[in-house]
Amino acid sequence: MSPDRCNRLQCPRHLVHKGNDVCVLYQVSEMDKELAVLDVFNVGHKQCRQLRQQLAAAIMEDAKRFGQPKEIAITPLNKD
């Protein structure tokens, strides 16, 4: 894989980490915000597709779990 291809795909896993283009595999620790990354040049096209599909599935699962609001009401704040 190349960084240009990541950008063309608008891959949400692509990140510049410590000056290197990397693919974010997963977050190691929520406390430390540490990421498990792999250099994008070491990610094949098949693995890239699988990682993007996993992320899309996780996003859809979150949307199902939390649901979508049926109505959003906006009330103006009174400045008294």
Half-sphere exposure of 74 (CA within 13 A, CB side): 0
SS3 content of the chain, % helix, strand, coil (to 5): 40, 25, 35
From CA 8, how far away is CA 63, in angstroms rounded? Answer: 25
66's enclosing H/E stretch is helix 45-66
Q: What is the pLDDT of residue 80?
A: 54
**Is residue 47 within 8 Å of residue 55, measured between CB atoms?**
no
Residue 10 vs residue 73, higher pLDDT: 10
The 10s digit of each residue's pLDDT in 24-52 is 887 676 666 777 888 889 888 898 888 88
β-bridge partners, 34: 29
Whether the CB-CB separation of 36 and 23 falls below 8 Å is answered with no
